[in-house]
A and B are shown apart, each in its own frame.
Chain A
Amino acid sequence: MPEGRVIGIPRRRVDGRAKVTGQTRFADDLAFPRMAYCRLLRSPHPHARIVRIDTTRAAEHPGVLLVLTGDDFPIPYGILPVSQDEHALCRDKVRFVGDPVAAVVARDELAAIEAVDLIEVEYERLRTIADPIESLEHPEPRIHEYGDEGNIHKKVSLAFGDVEQALGEADQVFEDTFFYQGNTHLPIEQHAAVGLKDPDGKLVLYSSTQTPHYVHRALAKALEMPAAHIRVVATPNGGGFGGKSDPFNHEVVVAKAALLLDRPVKISLTREEVFYCHRGRHPVLMKFRTGVKKDGTITGVHLQTLLDGGAYGSYGVASTFYTGALQTVTYHIPAYHFQGCRAFTNKPPCGPKRGHGTPQSRFGQEVQLDKIADALSLDPADLRLRIVEHPDTLTANYLRVGTIGLAECINRVTVAANWKARFRKLPRGRGLGLACSSYLSGAGLPIYWNDMPHSGVQLKLDRSGGVTAFCGATEIGQGSDDVLVGCIAEILGIDPFDIRAVTGDTDLTPVDLGSYSSRVTLMMGNAAIQAAERARDILAQAVSRKLDVPAARLVFADRRVFDAEDPARGVSFQDAVCLAETAFGTLGTTGSYTPPKSAAKFKGGGVGPSPTYSYTAAIVEVDVDETTGWVTVPRVWIAHDIGRALNPTLVRGQVEGSVYMGLGEALMEEQAFRRLPARLSSALVHKFPSLLEYKSPTSLDMPEVFTELVENPDPAGPFGAKEVGQGPLLPIMPALANAVYDAVGVRIDEVPITPDKIVKALDAAREGKPARYGPASFPTVPWPEPLQVPPPWAGGDGHATNEPPRKSRRAARTADQPETVVRT
């Protein structure tokens, strides 16, 4: 690994100064002359038909400028082309408590708050569907008129090889059911947006969004405007974690209001409303049947998942596939059958949260492996080392994995935690648990089908010696601006602070699909490298002429361009730019990145492929009080296969932040709902939509974390880098569950692992019942006929053998409405 000058060195991030001086301008920090404020009226009913809305009194309230209702928003939108099921304001139906039905714009926010309460809405209540079991039992009334059937949004079934046969060949088959409760992102910044007309009369929307490009598309569609007349600026996000990745009602509403009023309109959501935006972790009930040989090798896995999707589609189809996508990239699984089902319920929509769809089944798989190791009297670390998937493999479900540093990760954490000496040997009440994981470095396919680049970077260089880098990527705290600038600085031999980053602005920057699926470092990084290399080549040509040194011998370093054989001979970087500008005219280069084509050709194979995967192993230590079930976590060891750490300070921050969020999910976070007694009320409300009662760990609750970075550059990544934003979260929940077992001998097959559950499991053990707390069974789901996809080693080519012919891509692209084409 060549030592970089910028890359690989812990560095102050380029936006560090802005952040510590309070100068970073978040969406709600923006203010414009004549700015008005918007507030949404949200449904108090979980499921009801809107009979009548009377806005007269609200419109007459002092200070009110505009009142909007569903009639003003006839066109639906949604993040996935297959789920265009949202309206900015509900039109004839509300689907959860918090669904917006009207909007008031007023001169000040208090007036808008007052006026919203003056809107009268008459509802006709409908039966409420509270969870997926009810969705399965009650196809009527339907929450949506689309979807696979009744209140089932999506069902999938994919068979890679003959799993029943594989299970038959096993020495032992383990069957376990798990439940993973939903939870939410909880960025400290509440969503905010400002809509306005620019002096040309075009629409501008500033928003705390992770995906300005998708918001841009949604606005164009919902407002029936040419996208070229809309500018979306993603302000730096005060945390996102996936929660700001959908186009949201409030964004569409303030955009429309600004157009109608011809004045800036701001909305700044309350914390309660952020809970209603949600798009967080799906609650998932799951069942694993895993066949193993005596030595622990897996013969086959059958996984069933049931997702509680909430009231809208959001990313749900993708989430469903994700619950079954990544099992195969960690451990070798010769035969695999995945069945997933997502139900609509009358609750805020679920979507992508850090780890999108994969933490739930990762929890199940890793806890089950711990049970398997226990039953086979194997050390769980040894068991995993035995079954780790091989590098450069095509898995049973046609995911092409590149470098795999998982074994190294396991070795590092077991050494750091002194595992061999302590596991199963600590005094009762103390325990260690191990778990592993893997995650995508960017989704291989875009959200809507197209062949264009996933990330684009433009560079402008001029005689000042300054470089400006333009990219649509969005800074959400992860450090994307720093990655962009760092890659370019490394190649041009200048300092990161010589470069200005202009990001997340659909007017100014080339498209980047957004800050989701851990795609930015890899995709934007590669695009940035390409743009920078092209710039370097242009400069090198000009300098080569001037110095009469072959271009290939020129070194770009320390703000100079010089002869590698005679470093004294050279020009300053600024002079190099002047020479090139003189020789070639105005300078600019571009770079773009498109992921490699996926090997998966079957329907549904679009979810899971990635240019490369990151790997993580973690050991959690717990202290469990047997009387109260109280769990304390004194220490966590974690090793992450990052490929290459571009800025180790930031990488470590992502790892520790993931551990933090993972511990929150493992121990206390819960997006829970409350139904009131049916004879008195039809309410189904979020139990505690507040920062006080939704429990996010404080500085006092955070254990010591020991982080190890495993660096083995991956050819697919920029300078070898892989993702780090999401993967390190995944092993925390199962490692904690496994540690609880080590400590007190009970299995908590459910997240969060709260003290009352531990006490119940301990009670059960005392009464001679299974020492376990968790779901009893998996319901009967009318699964579709599986798509049969023979694995590569069974002669498969990535196609399903029984798939009905699909519309060809070419036909799809020329169709009138490309949005209706399904690529998930």
Chain B
Amino acid sequence: MASQPGGRAQTHLACVVNGDPVDITCAGYKTLLEVLREDLGLTGTKHGCELGECGACAVLVDGEPVLSCLALAVECSGRAITTVEGLTRDGRLDPLQEAFADLGAAQCGYCTPGILLTARALLDRVERPTRDDIREALSGNLCRCTGYQQIFEAVESACGHAQPTLRRAQRGPEPVEGPRTSACGSREAPEGSEAEPSRRARAHGGGAPCAVNNAGRGDHA
């Protein structure tokens, strides 16, 4: 994308990104972060410092979380790279993605891709991590919005830990993406999801008519 003014040394990169073979020529000075975002258009990978100080750029290289801002693209030849775009498989979100979306673990969503991939690697290594394991594994990902608590809960929920304090979120009638399975095996649909009949029944049973539902409206024009 960024065209090269004359004279910039180019390099060749052949690797596998999210399962797709990639074979490109790019500027030799570029890090994996820049190639993913600028040459491959995979802008799901974010950056907050480009110096290794935030974790927003984390991707998986051969299954391990690394910082793409500190990986030379040329050194990634022959390796398997997973970005947030590669977490979704066959149209289905990773259980971590579902849990993050449901449980408020993504506020602005900027740290989210790096955290999701880091958490994915954790769950691939440790089936049922403790809260302390999760804290430790995510200690290289700064999040400025959430205070981490809902992130911890989402990771726990994605591998079948107990429900968090609040009722499990309703997820809206997103097209059903098939039965959801987590790293720790399948589990029942969450309360309030489209698979749960009680919510429909409650709505049919006629809640308060909407006419009285705006009790809080102000005296605006």
Contact = CB atoms under 8 A, between A and B. Distances in A.
- State yes or no: do A and B touch (Cβ within 8 Å): yes
Contacts of B211: 552
Residue among B41, B50, B106, B203 with the highest chain A CB neighbour number at 10 A: B106
B198 to A, nearest CB: 12
Contacts of B29: 110
A557 B148 contact: no
Contacts of B200: 558
B48 A2 contact: no
Interface in B115-137: 116, 134-136
Contacts of A5: 202-203, 207
A14 interface: yes
Given A11-B172, A12-B171, A107-B2, A564 B142 contact: no
Interface residues of A, number: 116
A17 B101 contact: yes
A719 B110 CA distance: 30
Q: Interface majority SS on A: helix, strand, loop or mixed?
A: loop
A66 B79 CA distance: 39
A558 B199 CA distance: 10
Interface string A156-186: 0000000000000000000000000000011
Interface in B130-163: 134-136, 138-152
Nearest to B138: A699
Contact of B210 (A62, A493, A592): A493
B108 A239 contact: yes
A479 interface: yes
Given A497-B173, A529-B217, A718-B217, A657 B146 contact: yes
Instruction: Give the one of A5, A35, A106, A492 with max B CB within 10 A.
Output: A5
Interface in A238-268: 238-241
Interface stretch (A50-58, A80-88, A360-368, A647-655): A647-655
B46 A12 contact: no
B215 A2 contact: yes
Interface string A202-222: 000000000000000000000
Contacts of A556: 209-210
A10 B169 contact: yes
Interface stretch (B4-12, B60-68, B70-78, B179-187): B4-12
B97 interface: yes
A660 interface: yes
Nearest to A189: B110
B144 A2 contact: no
B107 A478 contact: yes
Contact of B145 (A25, A594, A653): A653
A657 B145 CA distance: 5
Contacts of B53: 271, 690-692
A491 B93 CA distance: 30
A109 B27 CA distance: 12
B170 interface: yes
A564 B209 contact: yes
A477 B141 contact: no
Q: Which of A12, A62, A649, A653 has the most CB of B within 10 A?
A: A12
Interface in A429-475: 453
A476 B48 CA distance: 16
Interface in A55-101: 62-63
B85 to A, nearest CB: 6
Nearest to B220: A593
B180 to A, nearest CB: 13
Contacts of A774: none
Contacts of A21: 44, 84-85, 87-88, 93, 97
Which of A2, A479, A592 has the largest number of chain B CB atoms within 10 A? A2
Contacts of B31: none
A35 B1 CA distance: 8
A696 interface: yes
A189 B104 contact: no
A399 B165 CA distance: 36
A110 B31 CA distance: 13
A108 B4 contact: yes
A21 B8 CA distance: 34
Contact of A14 (B107, B112, B172): B172
A502 interface: no
A22 interface: yes
Interface string B193-221: 00000001011101111111111111111
Nearest to B210: A556
B135 A699 contact: yes
B49 A271 contact: yes
A2 B109 contact: no
Contacts of A22: 43-45, 83-85, 112-113
B90 interface: no
Max chain A Cβ within 10 angstroms of own Cβ: one of B48, B145, B203, B206: B145
Interface in A697-751: 698-700, 702, 704-705, 713-721
Given A237-B108, A691-B53, A477 B169 contact: no
A718 B170 contact: no
A564 B150 CA distance: 39
A554 B209 CA distance: 8
With a 10 A CB-CB cut-off, give which of B134, B170, B213 has the most chain A CB atoms: B213
A555 B204 contact: no
Contacts of B110: 26, 187-189, 238-239, 477
Nearest to A654: B107
A410 to B, nearest CB: 21
B173 A495 contact: yes
B46 A188 contact: yes
Contact of B7 (A15, A19, A62, A659): A62
B103 interface: yes
B207 A2 contact: yes
A314 interface: no
A141 interface: no
B107 A653 contact: yes
Interface in A667-716: 690-692, 696, 698-700, 702, 704-705, 713-716
A643 B215 CA distance: 12
Given A238-B108, A649-B104, A702-B149, A491 B213 contact: yes
Contacts of B213: 2, 4, 7, 490-491, 719
A109 B206 CA distance: 59
Given A552-B211, A661-B144, 19 more contacts: A5-B207, A12-B172, A20-B93, A22-B84, A37-B2, A62-B6, A108-B27, A109-B2, A188-B46, A240-B108, A241-B144, A271-B48, A490-B210, A567-B204, A657-B144, A690-B49, A702-B148, A704-B149, A720-B215
Closest CB pairs A-B (n = 5): A22-B44, A477-B108, A238-B110, A19-B109, A63-B5
12 contacts: A3-B208, A11-B169, A17-B101, A21-B97, A25-B43, A31-B41, A189-B110, A271-B48, A498-B173, A557-B210, A643-B216, A699-B135
Interface of A: 1-5, 7, 9-26, 28-29, 31, 35, 37, 62-63, 106-111, 185-190, 236-241, 270-271, 453, 476-479, 490-493, 495-498, 526-527, 529-530, 533, 536, 552-558, 564, 567, 592-594, 596, 611, 643-644, 648-650, 652-653, 656-661, 690-692, 696, 698-700, 702, 704-705, 713-721
